[in-house]
Structures are given as structure tokens and as C-alpha cells.
Structure 1
Amino acid sequence: MSQWIELSTPHGTIKAWEQLPLGTPRGALVIIQEIFGVNAHIRAVCTRASMAGYAVLAPAFFDLIAPDTELDYGPDDVARGLALVDELGLERALDVVDSAASYLSRYGKVGTSGYCWGGTVAMLAAQRLGLPSASYYGARNAPFLDAPFKAPCIFHFGLLDASIPADVVALHRARQPTMPVYVYPADHAFNREVGRNYHAPSADLARERTLAFFSEKLK
């Protein structure tokens, strides 16, 4: 079952895309968008997670500042998305994640999986909110890597991703040596099946590793 619900947050009510598995959930995941809103790709991510047995919620973060925003992938969309995440800020984003996790707690233990900007928010959710998290190509991670983590985090990066150079990937391993860091022969957004950077073998392997991670951390 999938539907839009209303999610209460400290900053107001927003929409969130909820998707439930056919059987009893094995846990729950907050899916954290890229800079493009809860679009078809993020809803597809939710579908795959629910098919793996998880109750899923993808909050529409931009509703706090620009309701009903769903962007494409052109240059103007990228510029608009970057402006929106900067206006939203990471603190408000984490408040939304916390509200989503509280909502999902009825289904069991909760983790997060985030992509691009959402990858950094997911990492911060592990650090500050104690939610086991999967961080996909989070380009804004580096300034926060010295902070302690309250929960484990798994990291996925593309070797060809110019926005996250090899030395930044290495910094993750150096600063957080207990956290798994994986690098794939792919570019930024390799998990986005509708984009030119989609790399199916890397996306499939990252998903396999992520599901194994959550199977262990959310049991």
C-alpha cells in the first residue's frame, strides 16, 4: 500500500510518501530525498525498500518552504534544488527526519537511507538521532566527520564522482574507521535509475549491502 500522508513536524505539517510491505514489516526506513523532492525516483526507491519488507516514509522536506515542489534534472532544476536545500538547512531537515522516525516507530526499529544531499542528512541522522543509516554519495559529509556517531552508518561513493574526490572518501575511512565505506566504478547518482549516471551493477551491489546492513542493525 502506498499513499501520501500528513506528517507533523516542529516546523509545520508536510506531506510524506508512505509505502508499506505486504506482510508484517521487518522494520522501517526514512527515505531522504536528493535535491529534487519526492519525485518518481524517490518513490521507486520506496517501492524497492517496501518489497524488501520495510515500512517506508519519504518526507517532502521542501513543503516547509515551497510546498508541492517536485523537480526534474535540468540545470534550472539543479539550481532551484540547491537553493531550496540551503534555505531549508540541515537542522530543520533533521527535525523532519526525527518526526518521520517517530511516526514509523510503530513498525519496529527505524533507520534512514539518503541520497546526494539526503546522504549527508542520513549520516547526520546516525550521528545525532541514533538512527542506523545508509549514506549514498553525500557530498556535504566532510565537515561533520569528526563528530561521534550514536548509530552506525554505511557509505556508498562513486569512483568517478567529481563532487566527492578520492581524498574526501579516504577522509571517511580515516575519521570513522569502524564505518563501512564502499566505492563503486560509477559516477554521482549511480543509483538513480532515470539518470544518465545510472550504473545498474553498482546500484544493485550497493542495495544488497545496504539491505544486509539494515537486516543486522534493525533486527
Structure 2
Amino acid sequence: MSPSACVASWQSIDPRRPDEVPLRCWWARPADGPPRAGVLVLPEVFGLNGWIQGVTERLAAAGYAALAVPLFARTAPDLELGYGPDELALGRSHKERTRTDQLLADVALAAEWLQEQLPPAAAGLGCVGFCFGGHVALLAASLPGVAATVDFYGAGVRSGRPGGGPASLEVVPTIGGTLLCICGKEDLLIPAADVAAIETALAAANAARSADSPAGWLHRLVVLEGGHGFMCAARSDHHPASAEAGWSLLLETFAQQLGPDRHRAGA
């Protein structure tokens, strides 16, 4: 990606309601013109580290205003971890302290702020999440105004939701936009039964959609080669070919639902 393809910096978002907290986000936007849409980026348990910042900047270079949102704003608002076993344990300890209502409140606040930064002609909001962020992205897909969501290897959506409660897959019928779930074939955190449950939930929601739904507004599941975290070059399960395919699917989904791809350098 060309250094001039985007402008990026830390952005503080102040709470607006009693149930909200301040958010320290990574904010990136195109350097050579207005964005055509906005995208929320939801991180792994490792926080807003260098890789997530890079994903956010890559989206900005592709023409989107992209905002990476901290998922541990109440317990570790400045978290930026590497990928070692101790960092994984620390990140998971914060994940276990999250609640779905608080996570959705944080994402909704970020979405509200991001929408305000977009020009009137911008096409709307997308959302992408990885690992725990992928799980939260599936939940956030039910928020008003989120038109397209890509959930990369969001584990645990069949068995429950953050803080307890019914399976997160139960929100799929309430999603108004499109949801693309992408899993790795060798992902030990998403067993075959979970993959089948995801496929069944998406198919049922598609079948329930009215016949006059816009063409292409169907949920999808794609299984690629690789294990958990295959998109990230800093992780042991990184699978370059699948990472490239996953990025292409991401851009294809947003191009279809949020407007035509501007083919920016580095996209």
C-alpha cells in the first residue's frame, strides 16, 4: 500500500449515553478524496495492534473510511498485544469479561460516529471482524444501518454469546443486510458441527427473505484452506493463498453492497 493512499491516526470517541464508555479507535480514510462508504473493523482478542491497524489502513486505501473499534473498552481500552501464548491468555481473560449488551453499545456508538463522518453520497456501513471480533461482527450485523458484514472465523457462535445467553446464531434472522461467514477448513475452534450449524442458520434466513429482496442480498458461508487466524501474517496459522482469497471476498462483498470498487492502489 502506498504511504499516501490513506491518512490514519488514533481517534477518541466520547460516550453519548449512560451505558457507553470512551472508545480509543484507529481511524483511517482515503487520502485522495471522500470515502464511498464506512467500515467498522472489529479485532481479535489481541486488541488494536499493528495488524488490525494495517487492515484498517488497507480498507482506507481501497476507498473506505475505516474505524477499528476496541472490544475491551471497559477493561483494557488501550490493549495492543502480540501473538505469543502469554498475550493470548491475557486477551482471552478480557474476552471472558465482556457482555453482549456492552459490546453492541460500543459498536453502535462507533457506527453512529462513523456515519457522521461520511459525506451524504456515501453508501452506508460495512463491518468486518476477526476471531472474537468475527463473533461480535455477527451480532453487530443486526444493528440498524449495517448493510454488509464479513465474519472471519468467529468461533463460538453456535454455543452461546459473550456474557452468556442463547447462541449468537439466533440473531441471524434479524439481520437486515448481508452476512458472509468465512472459516478455515482446519480451524480447531470451529468444529464441523459448528460449520454445519452456521450453514443451516444462513440458509434458513435466506429462505425466509421476501421474493422482492435485492438481488445478491443473501447470506453466505465460505470455507477456505487453513486454520484459525489464517488471514494474519503474524500468526502461526497464516495461509497466504487463503488470506488473499479472503481479502478478495471481503472487497467483493463491500463492492456489491456498498458501491463499486474504486480499484485504489494496494487494495
TM-score by length of 1: 0.94
Where in structure 2 are the equivalents of 1:141-160 lying within 5 Å? 141-142=157-158, 143-147=167-171, 148=173, 149-160=175-186
Post-superposition offset of 1:111: 1.2
Higher helix proportion (structure 1 or 2): 1
The equivalent of 2:104 in structure 1 is: 94
Query: Which one of 31, 34, 38 corresponds to residue 24 of structure 1?
Result: 34
Amino acid corresponding to residue 6 of structure 1 in structure 2: S
The equivalent of 2:231 in structure 1 is: 191
Q: Which range moved further: 207-216 or 66-75? A: 66-75
- The CA distance in 2 between the partners of 1:193 and 1:43, in whole Å, is 13
Q: State the percentage of identical aligned residues.
A: 31
* Contact 1:14/1:61, CA 8 A, preserved across alignment: no
CA offset digits 1:100-157 (Å, max 9, x no partner): 1111113231111000000011111112445121000000211222331222110110
- The CA distance in 1 between the partners of 2:100 and 2:92, in whole Å, is 13
Where in structure 2 are the equivalents of 1:37-48 lying within 5 Å? 37-48=47-58
CA offset digits 1:69-91 (Å, max 9, x no partner): 21222222111111101212222
- The CA distance in 1 between the partners of 2:23 and 2:199, in whole Å, is 36
The equivalent of 1:173 in structure 2 is: 199
Post-superposition offset of 1:210: 1.2
Structure 1 residue 7 and structure 2 residue 13: aligned? Answer: yes
* Contact 2:8/2:28, CA 8 A, preserved across alignment: yes
Gaps of 5+ in 2: 1-6, 159-166, 207-218, 260-267
Structure 1 residue 210 and structure 2 residue 210: aligned? Answer: no
* Contact 1:33/1:118, CA 8 A, preserved across alignment: yes
Post-superposition offset of 1:205: 0.8
Where in structure 2 are the equivalents of 1:27-176 lying within 5 Å? 27-105=37-115, 106-107=117-118, 108=122, 109-131=124-146, 132-142=148-158, 143-147=167-171, 148=173, 149-176=175-202
- The CA distance in 2 between the partners of 1:75 and 1:120, in whole Å, is 21
Post-superposition offset of 1:62: 2.3
Amino acid corresponding to residue 20 of structure 2 in structure 1: H
Post-superposition offset of 1:95: 1.0
Amino acid corresponding to residue 190 of structure 1 in structure 2: F
- The CA distance in 1 between the partners of 2:141 and 2:76, in whole Å, is 27
Larger Rg: 2
- The CA distance in 1 between the partners of 2:144 and 2:254, in whole Å, is 16
- The CA distance in 1 between the partners of 2:62 and 2:182, in whole Å, is 19
CA offset digits 1:176-197 (Å, max 9, x no partner): 1131100011110000111111
Amino acid corresponding to residue 254 of structure 2 in structure 1: F
TM-score by length of 2: 0.78
- The CA distance in 2 between the partners of 1:88 and 1:56, in whole Å, is 23
- The CA distance in 2 between the partners of 1:68 and 1:30, in whole Å, is 18
- Kindly report structure 1 stretches of 4+ aligned residues shifted beyond 6 Å: none
